[in-house]
Amino acid sequence: MNNDYIEKVITELKARGASDISVSHDTIFVSVESDKLRSLVEYIHNELDCYFRTCGGCDERPINGFFALYHIFGDDKHGLNIVVKTYASSDDPKFPTIVDIVPAADWCEMEAHDLLGFEFTGRRQYRLVLPPNWPKGLYPLRKEVPYNIRPKPSTSGEQISKPTNIAAIPIGPYHPALHEPEYFELYIEGEKVVDVKYRGFHVHRGIEKLGETRMTYQQINFLAERICGICGFVHSTCYCQAVEKAARIDVPERALFIRSIVLEVERIHSHLLWVGVAAHLLGYDTGFMHTWRIREPVMVLAELLTGSRKTYGINLIGGVRRDIDESKKKKALEFLDIVEREFKTLADTLLSIPQIKKRLKETGILPKEDARKLSVVGPVARASGLDRDVRRDLPYAAYKYVDFNVPVYDEGDNMARLLVRVDEVFESIKILRQLLDQIPKGPIIAEDITIPEERMAVSLTEAPRGENVHFVITGRGKPYRWKVRAPSYQNIPALKIMLNGVQLADAPITIASIDPCFSCTDRILVIRDNGEKYWLKLTHPRGGSSCPRSL
């Protein structure tokens, strides 16, 4: 890491009012007065060219008598995180909004508004995460609210659709491809989509509250793994990394290798699953069946390495619970050969079908500038020419020991997103061969773990869908604050640009092309509007008609 660069950044931050500066690992923590927050954020986002990762509120009244808001930025080029903390008084938690500077902050500000009762001055505020009939003035993430509270529902004024002159096609609340609860309303003129309304959060499960109250440090690994049904191991790895970073625990190298191996196995299974679903959506069910047939050995391999086909349950703070012996290693290499050979043939066939090519090429385009503005992550970013991958930019687990390419395409269409994922399957196989070959000997879990209180850490992992963020403040026996941001959260807003003007028949594949994970996202929340720039808008979930300026 570039220490001179960190020094330079710190001097600049100080000049803009930042205080309490500390550097830990790859993260710079600063505090700032709320009246200087906006100018500091403007500098970090625009001049340092940092991506916005997320923001999270915290009820710190029991510790210091204040509410606090943490804005997390990421400098991928220099492998840095910048966490900006702002305080507000306990009786009137008001913060200036940064949404006009950083459009990506819309959702997390509204999440803090819902869950902690924060007021954001200078923007329109609305309910987002909580169900519409949750009573007003009850803020579940405040420390005095018990985790198992069941308030009497208040009446809901929500209207899903309003009559308009344009035909509205509902998709959901069950997605035609991904079988998860979310609701799209596509407004069409003729066969063309002209507007989209999105309503999510049907499965907000309050897991952050659960983690901060009912669970212990080691139990949360298993809860975190259940954030997502497809890429759960990424979440549990991200959570234990955050705690390990905060508590400065040295994880044995062998454990890091095992984590990386399982993460890559998970990526292959996730991408193969997606390719199958994409083929199914394009009406090519033969391709779907064969992709999933090829995926089967990957699932068996996961079970062999971890004990379960999914929700592997082998992560603990300090290491992993299952070792990989020589016989498993041999079996893994055999399976990888089969998957590589078979998927190569199938992918070639799939990509040679004229109908598939036609459906994917030049549909659902996300231009590079828009992708950057929306800070999209993962294969969606890489298909739109953004060269970002946490595994390379801020290496974690054992990724610094392996060579791999990060496939980047500039077209930004559905085809590019398919190609990125197909390429990544082969890259993952390449990574797995190196990891299995280099895996060092030694223990797989650290002994005698102590986790001091009131330490902070930000941890990132590259999920099959993109960058995952977990933010942890340690507490006694359990985290004081645990904040999660899943990749689909960053990517769903890009849909409104992708769907702009597509044929209705191409809408399902376009929606599916970001590989959205609604369970992950809904545990946080959704909805964003990028101002007047685009005529196609994701409308506000409760407002009914298209909202001209929700931020």
Partner 1 sequence: MSEKSLGKKLGLFKILIIAKKAGRVTRKYPFEKPLVTDEFRGKIEIDEKECIGCGACANACPPNALKLIKGENTFILQYFIGRCIYCWRCIDVCPTNAIKGTREFELATPDLNDLYESVVHDVIKCRECSKPIMTVKAKDYIISKVSVSENYIDLDPDCRKKHFLSSIEKRFSGGIE
Binding site for partner 1 (CB under 8 A): 215, 218-219, 221-223, 286-287, 290, 293, 296, 300, 303-308, 311, 313, 321-322, 342, 345-346, 348-349, 352-354
By C-beta, is 321 or 368 nearer to partner 1?
A: 321
**What's the min distance (Å) between Cβ of 393 and partner 1?**
32
**What's the min distance (Å) between Cβ of 225 and partner 1?**
9
**What's the min distance (Å) between Cβ of 328 and partner 1?**
8
By C-beta, is 313 or 379 nearer to partner 1?
A: 313
Q: What angle do CA 209, 246, 435 make, to 5 degrees?
A: 105
The H or E element containing residue 440 is none
By C-beta, is 156 or 219 nearer to partner 1?
A: 219
By C-beta, is 221 or 375 nearer to partner 1?
A: 221
Torsion angle of C-alpha atoms 453, 454, 460, 466, degrees rounded to 10: 110
**What's the min distance (Å) between Cβ of 458 and partner 1?**
24
SS3 letters across 74-89: EECCCCEEEEEEEEEE
Strand order in the sheet with 19-24: 19-24, 27-32, 80-89, 66-75, 51-60
**What's the min distance (Å) between Cβ of 304 and partner 1?**
5
Torsion angle of C-alpha atoms 204, 207, 209, 212, degrees rounded to 10: -170
**What's the min distance (Å) between Cβ of 255 and partner 1?**
15
Note whether 471 and 56 are within 8 A (CB): yes
By C-beta, is 218 or 434 nearer to partner 1?
A: 218
**What's the min distance (Å) between Cβ of 289 and partner 1?**
9
**What's the min distance (Å) between Cβ of 280 and partner 1?**
15
Contact residues for 371 (Cβ-Cβ < 8 A; gap 6+):
380, 381, 384, 385, 386, 412, 494
**What's the min distance (Å) between Cβ of 308 and partner 1?**
6
Q: What is the DSSP string of 289-353?
A: HHHHHHHHHHHHHHHHHHSSSSS---EETTEES----HHHHHHHHHHHHHHHHHHHHHHHHHHT-
Contact residues for 199 (Cβ-Cβ < 8 A; gap 6+):
160, 182, 183, 185, 541
By C-beta, is 100 or 296 nearer to partner 1?
A: 296
By C-beta, is 403 or 447 nearer to partner 1?
A: 447
100's tokens:
């006009």
**What's the min distance (Å) between Cβ of 106 and partner 1?**
33
By C-beta, is 72 or 314 nearer to partner 1?
A: 314
By C-beta, is 348 or 362 nearer to partner 1?
A: 348
Q: What is the DSSP string of 385-402?
A: T----HHHHS--TTGGG-
Residue 466, burial from CB neighbour count under 10 angstroms (0-12, 13-18, 19+): buried
Shortest CA distance to 424 belongs to which of 539, 212, 267, 287?
Answer: 267
* Region label for 319, one of left (φ > 0), alpha (ψ between -120 and 50) or beta (otherwise): left
Residue 404, burial from CB neighbour count under 10 angstroms (0-12, 13-18, 19+): middle
Question: What is the three-class DSSP state of 503?
Answer: strand
By C-beta, is 72 or 251 nearer to partner 1?
A: 251
